[in-house]
Each structure stands twice: as structure tokens, then as C-alpha cells.
Structure 1
């Protein structure tokens, strides 16, 4: 998504125009290389479904053997902390149900580490902000 953000690319809800892009990264407990083969494919599917449940748009999703990258657009009503915790919690439950062998004594039944990385992604030009302000002025007339 290297192209500049334009008015037409903004997402919208009934009362909001937004472009809230987040990049999340997290690792399995003890950074083990467990996300391979069928487990990696299933993890990717599960994360896509959970993002859809949240009304988020997955832009890029990479499942590596020892970490996960998620780049997504989400409505502004959801905080990055909420999104990360929801993704990790729901996905761990579903993945561990499907692959119970991942529950080892060493990881104490936990799939993901408690930590994660998050960064906001994107840019808004002055033109986009100016257009939004002008539209709001027109609506008030």
C-alpha cells in the first residue's frame, strides 16, 4: 500500500470516515518454531475470520514458524490493545482446540507469549483533512 492515502481510499461507518492501520507482531510462548504446515495454514484462516468478526480488514497476514505479522485496517472504536488481545485470545483457543498436541507442560497450555508489538501504519495528507473539514462545514449549512 505504498500509494498515498486519498479520499476514495478512506473506510467509513455510519458516522465516521477513517483509515486506522495497525501492524501487529507476536510470538508463540518461548518463541518456539511451531507455526508450520497445517498449523500455519489454520492459524492464517483463524486470524482472517477473527478480523472479520471485529469488522477489520486484513491487508497482510504472515504466519512464520516463530512469529505472526498482521497488518489490518480497523474501525476507530477498537483500541490497538483490544484488537491484539482479542486476536491472540480467540486464536489461541481455536488453534489449541484443533491441535491439542501444542499444549505442552513447558508452555503450560498457553500458545502465545503475553507480549506483542503494535505500530500505526499509514499517512494522511493535508488535502484529505481539508476535504473532510470542508464537507463537515457543508453539512451544517
Structure 2
């Protein structure tokens, strides 16, 4: 197991996060999914956490994240959802006409510390074939 550290904390906090567009509408298509991934990686780089694996389906997004306890997984997911909603609606005007807001207020997060990382990664990679 590889740990991350800073001046005061050594940790390995990996989480599986799932979130959906508002009303679970299948709008993550036609390049929106790829742009969402780019924006999410930019946010991760800015905030200092890692996105290990990510898959965007038409109606939801799965991510395997590693965020330290000082940042908090909730803050990381909330920032990704907020930035992707803003940037995608600005870049794809048809999204504004389709739904009043892109992001729903809820998301699901579970720790993957008990499962081997390879299993969690494979689960997210295989989402498109489900």
C-alpha cells in the first residue's frame, strides 16, 4: 500500500464516488463526457488530490479518488460537481435548454480500503459494458 504524506499527515484514503446529472437525465453524451473528465482532472490537479479511475456514463459518473483527510472527500466531489456543471453548461449551450441545472445536490461515496485497489479500478473500468 502506497501512502501520501504532507508535513503532519500520512494517509491512504481511497474512495469510490458516484454522482448523477439533475433528474438523472442521460446528458453526458456527444463529447460532454470527455470534457467532464478533462475538467475533473483539472480540479484534482488544482486541489491536490488524485483521480485514479473515472468513467462517465450517459446518466452518472463513477470515480475512484484519493483525497487526504485534511481536504476531505466531500469537498473534492463537491468541487468537481460544481466546476463541471458550470463549465459544461457554458461550453454546451444545449445543456441549458435540456435541464435547469446540471448537477444534482446528492452523491454517493464509499471507502475502498477493504477491497483490493485493482478490484475497485476494474469495477469502474467495466461500467460501460454493464
Do these two structures clear the TM 0.5 threshold for a shared fold by scoring above it? yes
CA RMSD, Structure 1 to Structure 2 (Å): 1.3
Which residue does 1:69 correspond to in 2?
62
Which residue does 1:116 correspond to in 2?
107
Q: Given the alignment of the two structures, is residue 23 of structure 1 paired with residue 31 of structure 2, yes or no?
A: no
What are the within-5 Å matches in structure 2 for residues 45-60 of structure 1?
45-60=38-53
- How far off is 1:107 after superposition? 2.5
Whichever of the two has the greater Rg, that structure is 1
Which residue does 1:37 correspond to in 2?
30
- Identify unmatched segments of 5+ residues in structure 2: 115-130
- How far off is 1:120 after superposition? 1.3
Q: Given the alignment of the two structures, is residue 80 of structure 1 paired with residue 80 of structure 2, yes or no?
A: no
Q: Given the alignment of the two structures, is residue 101 of structure 1 paired with residue 83 of structure 2, yes or no?
A: no
Q: In structure 1, what is the Cα distance between the partners aligned to 2:50 and 2:75? A: 16
Q: Which has the higher strand share?
A: 2
Aligned residues: 114
- How far off is 1:81 after superposition? 2.0
Q: In structure 2, what is the Cα distance between the partners aligned to 1:122 and 1:37? A: 34
- How far off is 1:26 after superposition? 0.6
Q: Deviations over 1:60-113 (max 9, x none)?
A: 111111100111111211122212211111111111111121012x632x1011
Which residue does 2:118 correspond to in 1?
none
- How far off is 1:46 after superposition? 0.7
Which residue among 10, 13, 29 is the counterpart of 2:6? 13
| SS of equivalent to 2:104 | coil
